[in-house]
Amino acid sequence: MNILVIGGAGYIGSHMCRRLKSAGHNAVVYDNLSTGHKDSVNDFSFVEGCLGDREKLKHTFERYEIEAVMHFAAHIEVGESVLNPSKYYNNNLCRVVNLLDQMIESKVKYFIFSSTAAVYGNNPDNSPLNETTPCMPINPYGRSKLMVENLLSDYNKAYGLNYTVFRYFNASGADDAGDIGENHNPETHLIPLILKVATGERESIKIFGTDYDTPDGTCIRDYIHVNDIADGHILGLQRMVKDNISDTFNLGNGKGYSVKEIINTAEALSGIKISHNESDRRDGDPAILIADSKKAKDILGWKPIYNLEKIIQTAWQWEKQFNI
C-alpha cells in the first residue's frame, strides 16, 4: 500500500517508515521539519508541508496515490501543554481535523492514529490500564488526544472513515542498526536524558518528584520499544483493511519501572555513574502508568520483543556514537 506517514521524519515516524518498507509497503513522508530530521528518511519520498495546507495535502494524496494515513505529528510534552494549551489544541486537534477532511475528499478511508496513555489520566486503582479503563486525562496533551479519538468515532459513523487508535506508553529505544534513534531538541524523555549524562553531553538529570505513592517515591512508567510500536501499527493496518473495522488498542510491555530503576539499569549497562538531582513534581504527571496490552496480543497477534535492557542497549548504541 501507499501510506502517507504524517510526521514521518520524527522519532517514531522514521522508525515506522523502515518497518513499512520491510513489510513491503511504500511510505511517503509528510513533515514540516519543526522537530523531525530529513536525513532520517533519505530513502523515502518526502514532502515538506504543514497539515494546515490543504492544497499541499490534496496534491500529495493525488501524486502518490495514497491509500492509508498514519499520524505521528503531535506535540507531546505534558509540561508544555499545561503552560501553552493553545499550541497543543491547534496542532493536535485542529490540524488533524483538516487532515481527516482531506482524506474524505480524497476518498482515503484508512487512518491510524498514535494516541497515548495520557488519555487515562491518574488511574492508580486501575493499573495496569486496559482499553475499557475510564479516560480522564489530567493535562491538555492527553485531552487533545482523547478529543481526536472521539471525533474519529464520529467520522467513522458519518463518513465511513475507518480508524485504528494505538494508545502507547513510553516510546523508547532506537533501531538495531544504530543509525536512527531518539533525537529531540530539546530532549525531555527520561532514557535519552540519562544516557546523555553517560556520554558526557549533560552533567546530570533531574528527578521530578520523589514523594509519589510508589515503592521508591518516583514515577512508574511502562517503556515500549519504538520498533515494537511500529510493528503493532502494521498489524493494525492489516486488520483494518482486511475486516473493514475500527478499533482501539494499548501498546505497552505491561511492566512498570520507576525513574530510579531506569537510572540503575542504565548505569549497569553503560558502566557509568549517572549524576542526578531531585526536584519538585511536574504539573500533570500521574504516579503510575502501566499498560494492559492483552487486546492487541489476542486480536492482532502483536507481541513486543524488546525488554527494558534491550531498549536501553539500543538507545545507548545510538547515543554513544556521537559523544564517545
What DSSP state is assigned to residue 262? H
Q: Residues with catalytic annotation?
A: 141
* Stronger pLDDT, 177 or 146, i.e. the higher one: 146
Q: Does domain 190-221+254-323 have CATH number 3.90.25.10?
A: yes
* pLDDT attached to residue 124: 55
Q: Is the peptide bond before 140 cis (omega within 30 degrees of 0)?
A: no
Strand residue runs (E) in 32-187? 45-48, 68-71, 110-116, 162-168, 170-172
Q: Which cell goes with 170?
A: 513510553
User: Average pLDDT of 210-232?
Assistant: 95
* pLDDT attached to residue 100: 98
pLDDT band at 286 (very low <50, low <70, confident <90, very high): confident
Give the 3-state secondary structure percentages of the chain, helix then strand then coil, rounded to 5: 45, 20, 35
User: Average pLDDT of 262-285?
Assistant: 91
Q: First and final CA of the chain: distance in angstroms?
A: 40
CA 29 to mean position of chain CA atoms: 16
Q: What is the pLDDT of residues 152-211, one digit of tens each?
A: 999 999 999 999 999 998 899 999 988 898 887 777 789 999 999 999 999 999 999 999
User: Are 2-172+224-251 and 190-221+254-323 in the same CATH fold?
Assistant: no
* pLDDT attached to residue 321: 79
User: Average pLDDT of 245-266?
Assistant: 96
Percent over 70 (pLDDT), the chain: 97
Instruction: Find out whether 65 and 2 touch, Cβ atoms under 8 Å.
Output: yes
The CA distances from residue 188 to 17, 115, 230, in Å, are 23, 18, 21
Q: What is the pLDDT of residues 56-93, one digit of tens each?
A: 999 999 999 999 999 999 998 888 999 999 999 999 99
How many angstroms separate the CA atoms of 5 and 20, rounded?
10
Taking alpha carbons only, the member of 231, 229, 240, 239 closest to residue 291 is 229
* pLDDT attached to residue 284: 63
Q: What is the pLDDT of residues 181-194, one digit of tens each?
A: 888 777 778 999 99
What DSSP state is assigned to residue 90? I
Indicate the range of 23-27, 108-112, 116-120 predicted with least confidence: 116-120
Q: Which fold has domain 2-172+224-251?
A: Rossmann fold (3.40.50)
Q: What is the pLDDT of residues 115-144, one digit of tens each?
A: 998 899 876 556 789 999 999 998 999 999
| Residue 121 backbone class (left: φ over 0; alpha: ψ -120 to 50; beta: rest) | left
Side-chain half-sphere of 31: how many Cα atoms within 13 Å? 27
Q: Is the peptide bond before 192 cis (omega within 30 degrees of 0)?
A: no
Q: Which cell goes with 148?
A: 481526536
Q: Which cell goes with 119?
A: 488519555
How many angstroms separate the CA atoms of 34 and 52, rounded?
14
Domain definitions of the chain by residue range: 2-172+224-251, 190-221+254-323
The CA distances from residue 130 to 142, 162, 169, 202, in Å, are 16, 22, 12, 37
* pLDDT attached to residue 169: 86
* pLDDT attached to residue 185: 75
How many angstroms separate the CA atoms of 100 and 109, rounded?
9
At position 156, the amino acid (one-letter code) is N
Report pTM.
Answer: 0.94
User: Average pLDDT of 10-37?
Assistant: 96
Q: Which cell goes with 20?
A: 513499512
Task: Round the average pLDDT of the chain to a whole number and report it.
Answer: 93
